């Protein structure tokens, strides 16, 4: 803008010098000259205004077309990571179900099994490199290397010590157990005196008598002779206990006789003893009884036999039988 005004001033100054000279040469009057100068000044003023307008437009265009350049900050470079030492730890990953053994070979005992995905630290290898020594349940064990995946295998050293394979067992003949010697059977009738277990209690029958007395019928028979009556002539009698108390009325004063009585097992009873309640322990017939046979010399001819009476069934019919 200042440059444009300077140019106009120079033009006006030149006109002020040249116009009088031109007027003299052209023979113009002062009025003509003044009119022409005024026209020129107006023209110069108009040109000055237009130049100013052009300069304003040019400045506006420059402001629009040329953006202000904002300096872009330089990106801060990321810090260079400091390399750290990697702690390489050899391990095995199990690929399939497999046996874990006590040594590097199938001739070693099986300690357990490993499942797919299980991982164990490697502690060594065998000299041939076909088996890895691992830490298995707190102890050294071995797995077959083709069935596992090992990490950092190049760091694994040969195990300094591993057990020598156990010797293959030599089959031996199974010893024949000795033939058991039959133990002697204790004779339950030995040591009871007399003929021991000559008689056994074969039949026990009870009949109701209202419990008014204990009436004891006994028959002594020989089975090997068709139930032949024994004790004729008073060779046998019985001893009786009730609830652990001896029934004193049943003694050797009453013995098997020649005559018989018909009862539940037929006409085979050759001994009869009626005991009043006053002589029965407890004063009644109901209770638990134990009885055995004696011979004419008072020696035992049978073991103890037991029976019970209840409900006033005071008639007791017994058959003692022998085979020899």
How do the pLDDT tens digits run along the chain, 324 residues long? 555 555 556 655 655 555 555 556 556 676 776 777 677 767 767 776 777 676 667 666 655 554 555 556 666 655 655 544 456 799 999 999 999 999 999 999 999 999 999 999 999 999 998 999 999 999 999 999 999 999 999 999 999 865 555 566 677 777 888 877 777 655 556 556 556 678 899 999 999 999 999 999 999 999 888 998 987 776 889 999 999 999 999 988 888 878 899 999 999 999 999 999 999 999 999 999 999 998 888 888 889 999 999 999 999 999 999 877
245 located within any domain = yes
What pLDDT was estimated at residue 285? 95
Domain count, the chain: 2
> Quick check: 244 and 205 in contact, CB under 8 A?
no
For residues 103 and 159, give the distance between their C-alpha atoms in angstroms, rounded to a whole number: 11
What pLDDT was estimated at residue 24? 60
One domain for residues 237 and 136:
no
> Quick check: 302 and 292 in contact, CB under 8 A?
yes
What pLDDT was estimated at residue 147? 94
Q: Which of 217, 220, 275, 270 is nearest to 248 (CA)?
A: 275
One domain for residues 142 and 223:
no
DSSP string, 132-175: EEEEETTEEEEEEGGGEEEESGGGPPBPS--PPPPPPPPP-PPP
41 located within any domain = no
118 located within any domain = yes
One domain for residues 150 and 259:
no
What pLDDT was estimated at residue 31? 75
Whichever domain contains 292, its CATH number is: 2.60.40
175 located within any domain = no
One domain for residues 137 and 237:
no
One domain for residues 206 and 143:
no
59 located within any domain = no
For residues 12 and 41, give the distance between their C-alpha atoms in angstroms, rounded to a whole number: 7
What pLDDT was estimated at residue 296? 80
Strand partners for 267:
262
One domain for residues 229 and 303:
yes
One domain for residues 300 and 209:
yes
One domain for residues 279 and 204:
yes
Strand partners for 252:
none
For residues 270 and 38, give the distance between their C-alpha atoms in angstroms, rounded to a whole number: 194
For residues 6 and 215, give the distance between their C-alpha atoms in angstroms, rounded to a whole number: 176
Among 136, 155, 174, where does a domain finish?
155
250 located within any domain = yes
For residues 100 and 143, give the distance between their C-alpha atoms in angstroms, rounded to a whole number: 5
For residues 41 and 46, give the distance between their C-alpha atoms in angstroms, rounded to a whole number: 8
205 located within any domain = yes
One domain for residues 214 and 118:
no
One domain for residues 115 and 215:
no
Whichever domain contains 97, its CATH number is: 2.30.30.40
One domain for residues 238 and 312:
yes
73 located within any domain = no
One domain for residues 138 and 235:
no
User: What domain range includes position 228?
Assistant: 200-322
What pLDDT was estimated at residue 221? 92
């Amino acid at each position: 803008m200042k440059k444009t005004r300077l140019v106009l001033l120079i033009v006006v100054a030149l006109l002020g010098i040249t116009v009088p000279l031109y007027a003299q040469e052209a023979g113009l009057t002062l009025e003509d000259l003044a009119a022409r100068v005024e026209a020129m000044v107006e023209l110069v003023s108009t040109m000055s205004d237009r130049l100013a307008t052009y300069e304003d437009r040019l400045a506006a265009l420059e402001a629009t077309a040329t953006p202000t350049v904002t300096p872009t900050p330089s990106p801060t470079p990321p810090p260079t990571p400091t390399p750290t030492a990697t702690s390489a730890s050899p391990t095995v990953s199990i690929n399939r179900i497999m046996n874990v053994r006590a040594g590097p070979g199938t001739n070693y005992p099986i300690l357990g099994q490993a499942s797919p995905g299980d991982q164990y630290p490697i502690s060594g290898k065998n000299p041939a490199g076909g088996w890895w020594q691992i830490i298995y349940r707190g102890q050294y064990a071995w797995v077959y290397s083709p069935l596992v995946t090992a990490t950092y295998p190049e760091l694994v050293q040969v195990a300094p010590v591993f057990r020598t394979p156990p010797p293959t067992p030599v089959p031996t003949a199974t010893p024949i157990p000795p033939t058991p010697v039959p133990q002697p059977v204790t004779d339950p009738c030995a040591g009871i005196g007399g003929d021991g277990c000559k008689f056994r209690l074969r039949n026990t029958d009870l009949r109701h008598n209202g419990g008014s007395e204990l009436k004891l019928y006994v028959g002594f028979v020989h089975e090997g002779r068709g139930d032949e009556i024994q004790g004729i002539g008073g060779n046998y009698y019985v001893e009786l206990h009730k609830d652990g108390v001896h029934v004193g009325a049943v003694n050797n004063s009453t013995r098997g006789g020649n005559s018989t009585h018909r009862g539940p097992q037929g006409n085979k009873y050759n001994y009869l003893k009626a005991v009043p309640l006053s002589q029965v322990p407890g004063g009644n017939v109901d209770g638990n009884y134990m009885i055995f046979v004696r011979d004419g010399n008072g020696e035992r001819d049978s073991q103890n036999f037991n029976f019970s009476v209840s409900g006033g069934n005071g008639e007791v019919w017994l058959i003692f039988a022998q085979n020899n």
